[in-house]
Amino acid sequence: MTFFEAIILGLIQGLTEFLPISSSAHLRIVGEFLPSAVDPGATFTAITQIGTELAVIIYFRRDIVRIIGRWCRHFARKSGIPKGDPDVRLGWIVIIGTVPIGIVGFLAQDYIRDAFRNLWIVAVLLIVFGILLWLADWLGRRTRELDRMTYRHGIWIGLAQVLALVPGVSRSGATTSMGLALGYTRPAAARFAFLLAIPAVLGSGGYELVTALRTGTTGYFGYAETAVATVIAFVVGWLVIAFLMRYIQTRSFLPFVIYRIALGAAIMILLAAGLLRAA
C-alpha cells in the first residue's frame, strides 16, 4: 500500500503547496486517513517539496534567469547596471530574506520534526492564519508592484516565511499575507512569495535528502515511493501555479480563508471526539 499512499500524498503536496492552505498541514492530516494511518514526517515532506519548487523554477524561469543574470553582472565595473536596479535589488532581497528561515530552521530541527506536528497546533494555526490572510487581503492597499520592493519589506516577508516551519501556517499564505499587508498587489505578493521560497525549500529539501541518503531512510516511505511522490508533486504543482496566478488577477483569497477555517474547525471536532490522534 505504500506506493498508493505515496501517490496520494504527492497529489496533496502538489495541490496545496502554492495555495495559502498549508501543504505540510494537509500531508500531516491526510496521513492519518490513509490505510497505514501514519505521519509522513518532516523528511518526506521536505523532499517532496523539491518537486513543487522545481515547478516554480520552470514557471518563473524568465524572471529567475533575468534576476540572477543582472545580479551577477552588476558586480562588473562596466556592466552599466546601476545599484538601484530593481532586479539587482530583488536578488539581494531574496538572499537577505532567506537568512531568518535558514537560521531558525537549523536551530529548531527537533521542534519541526516533533512538537510542531501536533494536530491541535495545526488546527489552531489554520484558523488563525486564515483570519490574518483575510484581514491582509481586505485591508491592504494593493498598490505596490514587485519593482518597488524594498529591503525593509523583504526582511519583513522573510520573517513571515519563518512561521511556515510550523504545519498549519502555510509558506505562501504567511509571505503573501505579509506582502498584502505591506501594500503589494495580489500578483506581486504571490510572485515574490514564490521567488523567496526557492532557496529555502531547495536548501531544506536538499538537507533532508542528504540526511535520508546517509541514514538509509526517508521515514515511513522508501526511496522509490518518495521519488514517485516528488515527481507527482512537480507536475500537479506546475498546474496549480498556473491556476493561482490567473485566479488572483481578479479574485480575492476569501475562498481559501473559508476553507482554512472550516478545515481547522473540523480537525478540532475530530480530535475532541477521539477520531484523530493529536500526535
The answer to whether residue 22 is domain-embedded is yes
Q: Is the pLDDT of residue 266 over 60?
A: yes
Structure confidence by residue, pLDDT tens digits, 30-53: 988 988 887 888 888 899 999 999
Q: Is the pLDDT of residue 113 over 80?
A: no
Q: Is the pLDDT of residue 1 over 70?
A: no
The answer to whether residue 278 is domain-embedded is no
Structure confidence by residue, pLDDT tens digits, 129-149: 999 999 999 999 999 999 999
Residue 16 pLDDT class (50, 70, 90 cuts): very high
Predicted local confidence at residue 277, as pLDDT = 86
Helix (H, G, I), strand (E, B) or coil at 183: coil
Mean pLDDT, to the nearest integer, of 90-103?
A: 96
Predicted local confidence at residue 111, as pLDDT = 79
Predicted local confidence at residue 239, as pLDDT = 97
The three three-digit cell numbers of residue 232, written as one number: 507527482
Domain residue limits at 53: 2-272
**Alpha helical stretches, state H, 74-185:** 86-107, 109-113, 119-139, 151-162, 171-181
In angstroms, the Cα distances linking 191 to 12, 27, 59, 70, 75 are: 22, 24, 11, 18, 25
Q: Is the pLDDT of residue 115 over 80?
A: no
Structural domains in the chain (count): 1
The answer to whether residue 279 is domain-embedded is no
Structure confidence by residue, pLDDT tens digits, 170-221: 999 999 999 999 999 999 999 999 999 999 999 999 998 998 888 887 778 8
The answer to whether residue 33 is domain-embedded is yes
The answer to whether residue 40 is domain-embedded is yes
The answer to whether residue 205 is domain-embedded is yes
In angstroms, the Cα distances linking 269 to 39, 78, 189, 273 are: 19, 64, 33, 6
Predicted local confidence at residue 37, as pLDDT = 80
Pick the more confident residue, 119 or 110. Answer: 119
Mean pLDDT of the chain: 93
Q: How many helices (H) and strands (E) does the chain have?
A: 12, 0
The answer to whether residue 245 is domain-embedded is yes
- In one letter, which amino acid is 74? H
